[in-house]
Amino acid sequence: MHIVDRRLNPSGKNLANRQRFMRRAKSLIRKAVHESSASRSIKDADQAGEVALPAQGVHEPSFHRNSSGGMRDHLLPGNKQYVEGDTIPRPQGGAGGGGSEGSPDGEGQDDFRFALSRDEFVDLFLEDLELPDLAKRRVVDSESVSWHRAGYSVTGSPANLALLRTVRNSLSRRIALKRPKPADLQALRDEIAALSPDGEEGDRRIQLEEELTRKLRRTGLIPYIDPLDVRYRKFEPQPKPVAQAVMFCLMDVSGSMTEHMKDLAKRFYVLLYIFLKRRYKHVDVVFIRHTHQAQEVDEDTFFHSPETGGTVVSTALEEMQRVIDERYSPDSWNIYAAQASDGDNTASDNDKTAALLTDTILPVCQYYAYLEVGRDSEHFPPGFIRRDSDLWQTYSAICKSGAPMAMRKVGHRRDIYPVFRELFAKKTATTGAETT
Amino acid sequence: MNDFGGGIKVGRPLFEGADWEFGTIQRVHDAIEEIAIGELGLDVYPNQIEIIGTEQMLDAYSSIGMPLFYKHWSFGKHFARNEAMYRAGMQGLAYEIVINSNPCISYIMEENTATMQTLVIAHAAFGHNHFFKNNYVFKQWTDADGILDYLEFARGYIAQCEDRYGETAVERLLDAAHALMTHGVHRYPRRRSADLRSEEQRAKERRLHEERVFNDLWRTVPTKGVEKEDKSIEERRRALLQLPQENVLFFLEKTAPRLRPWQREVLRIVRIIAQYFYPQSQTKVMNEGCATYVHYRIMNRLHEKGLLTDGNMVEFLRSHTNVVFQPDFDDPRYSGINPYALGFGMMRDIERICTEPTAEDQNWFPDIAGSGDPMAVLRDVWANYRDESFMLQFLSPRMIRDFSLFHVLDDSNEPNLTVEAIHDERGYRKIQRALAKQYDIAWTLPDIQVVDVNLIGDRRLILHHRALNRVLLEERDARFVLQHLADLWGYDVLLKEVDPASDSVLKEHAATPRGGILQPDGG
């Protein structure tokens, strides 16, 4: 008989089958992922999770008999009251006293549930999306490396000597090889000194002196610190984050922005954040809110603190410009900006905004997305043509000139994801086409 | 230690408590072997015991228990499904999986306690192992020596096809083949038994031969015009095509006009694997009954010999009782007759008939009643019967009474169900026959045969489903499978559902090929 321990075999043997299955059921899984992402809260939008597929989608058919009709025999255990010739009313729904046979493989028509890992989930969630102009600064960034601690080594420069580790090794070696301790030697010397050189004590003394010589020789042979004990701290180079990105969230928080609009904006920012995180090792987020004046704030204030005032968009762009100058040099950062607004702007500010955007912001940005959020229940009487907002008109002019910029309108939560996909869908032609 | 086995305690217990290590497994195996071979007279393949973890068990589940298998999305699906169920706690995992191969491989779970490992080794490594080696259905249809090599070949071959022809093409083909897998089995022995070891060699030779004799010029040779059909030609044609043919995959592999050689080979692989599993479906009750009976005898014997502590014995009995539990039909837990319960019950019953027969047994089983050597009788039974014949022969009145079996007839033309027979004098024979029929593969799988094809004309393939008792095929699935069949055949396919009593056609399904599997030949 052989006993084989298979527990240490490489796991993930089924990965190839799983990938084939995922590919097969891709359209179904994608649909399920989108549906389940709608019901998730923003925080765990990118977590692993279970999705349910309709069983029919990945059905494996086989010839088998219908579960009703014709003449069938049932053999059942546990007869209690029936005698031959009894009649039993036909049970409804197939199961029950008539005997439920179940489908051949025990598989019902239930949904097929299975768990997706976080990566698989996000992959499907953001499938076919790509960042425009992603490659811009990759070359610069991949050159730099940083040094990280990586355990100990037996060679190295004296500056990196790991003293503690070295002494610990030395101590254990000395104990193991029984190197005499200085205190023991001293005790032996004292004892010798206390004995007189002749008589019976003389013999004892000679004995002890021999022992002392032996021990001293041993001490000499076994060094206190041997080259074997020496350890150095080891460092290894690691490439710095291949690329880092900063994401500017600009939002109009003036009185005309309702909670609903802010919610829409927030959803959009969350998607953008997940998306950037997948592409860059390091993503910073900067929140800038503005009324008639702009200010960099933390996330909580950004979304929740109420504010009143007019609307001057250029202030936000100025603030963004300031932050970029201060902390995010376009040479080492990929800069993305997403602006959400209801479209209002002080009429006199439009020209300034346009100038700022074209001259200073867009040249340093990888991508600039403008999201115009509207009311959920915005209805216009038939025949009434809705006028484009000030900001929309201003921005469309810039957009048309082929800048790395896109703009969309969103009125309901369900539109956020499609709009997001639309913005970042893989494109072969130029970005920044406008739709209304 | 008290002494409730009645025997004399000699040995020290093999282990105490729940922990085990490899030494324990070895000791347990040796102790069991002594009993199984020496006392029960079992005849087994050499054992190989492999210890696996949860993920590997799930792996084995998804590929029908085989250790190596080709890749297909459906296995990934089963894995995902089982994993989700297992993680949610809705489903436990089996303690073991055993493979009919030589050496006989038993997978046992690392989580099992020492008692469970003992039980599992007795059950799988000796019970199932003996059955695999000796039962005639297995002997006739499976090749335990070659199966692992063949699976290795199959995996390699299909991977090679994926490289050469693309994953999509292979996947489409496998989808179609899997849909027909239940009808890719020879139910009756052919002249020659399959020798899996030489299959690989022969596959290679076939390809080489085809490459050698390939001559593009043959294509240009003008053929004679269509000959006038007459009765005898038609009959000869059918005989040549071996029609009617119930092994649909076999028929396609040999006859489908437009399949490429590698596609035929893949169909062959699926068919041979289906054939390998065919005996298992015919002997479910006997196989489990045999294994359960063997482990029950062995565990008791180990305890008698003092090799198993009382505590471990109680743990075993608890697990054993769960396994052989048969809920009544009106119990919410009822999901059909438990093959472990029925099989174990019948084996114990045969033992009783051999040792303490009643007058009734003398009457029903004159050959074995009171023979005094139950193991000899059981070994003979395990070797020479399958579920259907086993029920017909050995389901005793006592068993029918113990299970309170009754037979209900459900005729869709009648408003009510009728009780045809119960566990009484008049009912025993009827119940025996009806139960045996339930285990007859011919009654459980729809009887579908290729009956005719017009190779000279429109090449339409005609199949018949002989609808026993007027039970038709499940239509949705039938249409899907028929579609796959048409894709493989390359021309129209017609399936007629025929009432065998009157030969009248109850229903027809038709399918036209979609393309996808068969590429245009291109010359």
Q: Where are the domains of chain A?
A: 22-57+113-125, 158-233, 244-424
Tell me how far the alpha carbon of residue B139 is from its chain's centroid: 14
Q: Is the pLDDT of residue B375 over 60?
A: yes
**Lowest mean pLDDT, pick from A301-305, B206-210, B225-229, B331-335:** B225-229
Per-residue pLDDT reduced to its tens digit, A362-411: 888 878 888 888 765 554 444 445 567 778 888 888 877 777 788 888 87
What average pLDDT does chain B have? 84
Q: Find where tokens 């897998």 sit.
A: B181
Per-residue pLDDT reduced to its tens digit, B38-70: 989 999 999 999 888 888 888 877 776 677 788
| Predicted local confidence at residue B298, as pLDDT | 93
Contact A74/B408, CB-based, under 8 Å? Answer: yes
Q: How many angstroms separate the first and last alpha carbons of chain B?
A: 84
Q: Which positions ≥6 away from B101 have C-beta within 8 Å?
A: B45, B144, B145, B147, B148
Rounded CA separation B111/A256 (Å): 63
| Predicted local confidence at residue B522, as pLDDT | 36
- In chain A, % helix, strand, coil (3-state, to 5) comes to 40, 20, 40
Rounded CA separation B222/A211 (Å): 112
Element (H, E) at B233: helix B231-240
Q: Where are the domains of chain B?
A: 22-135+283-318, 324-443, 446-511
Structure tokens at A12: 């993930």
| Predicted local confidence at residue A99, as pLDDT | 38
Rounded CA separation B413/B75 (Å): 41
Q: Which residue(s) pair with A340 in the sheet?
A: A251, A371
Are the C-beta atoms of A366 and A272 separated by less than 8 Å?
no
Q: Is the pLDDT of residue A175 over 80?
A: yes
Please, which residues 303-322 of chain B have a Cβ atom closer than 8 Å to chain A?
A: none
Give SS3 for B47: strand
Rounded CA separation B523/B521 (Å): 6
Residue pairs between chains A and B whose CB atoms are closer than 8 Å:
258
**Which of B27, B328, B419, B484 should be substituted to probe chain A, the one whose Cβ sees the most A Cβ atoms within 10 Å?**
B419
Per-residue pLDDT reduced to its tens digit, A268-293: 887 777 777 777 767 788 888 888 88
Q: Residues of B with CB below 8 A from A73's CB?
A: 407-410, 420, 434, 437-438
**Lowest mean pLDDT, pick from A72-76, A203-207, A328-332, B206-210:** A328-332
| Predicted local confidence at residue A92, as pLDDT | 62
| Predicted local confidence at residue A361, as pLDDT | 83
Contact B407/A4, CB-based, under 8 Å? Answer: no
Contact B438/A87, CB-based, under 8 Å? Answer: no
Contact A70/B469, CB-based, under 8 Å? Answer: yes
More confident call, B376 vs B74: B376
ipTM: 0.73
Q: What angle do CA B56, A105, B415 make, to 5 degrees?
A: 160
Please, which residues 41-80 of chain A have a Cβ atom closer than 8 Å to chain B?
A: 50, 58-80
Q: What angle do CA B239, B245, B251 make, to 5 degrees?
A: 95
Please, which residues 361-400 of chain A have a Cβ atom closer than 8 Å to chain B?
A: none
Residue A332 half-sphere exposure, CB side, CA atoms within 13 Å? Answer: 12
Per-residue pLDDT reduced to its tens digit, A83-107: 888 888 877 644 333 333 333 333 3
The total of other beta-carbon atoms located within 10 Å of residue A201's CB is 12
Q: Is the pLDDT of residue B297 over 90?
A: yes
Answer whether B86 touches A (CB < 8 Å). no
Per-residue pLDDT reduced to its tens digit, A407-435: 888 877 777 777 777 777 765 444 333 33
Rounded CA separation A60/A57 (Å): 9
Q: Is the pLDDT of residue B257 over 50?
A: yes
CATH architecture of the domain with range A244-424: 3-Layer(aba) Sandwich (3.40)
| Predicted local confidence at residue B3, as pLDDT | 39
| Predicted local confidence at residue A340, as pLDDT | 86
Structure tokens at A168: 């610990």
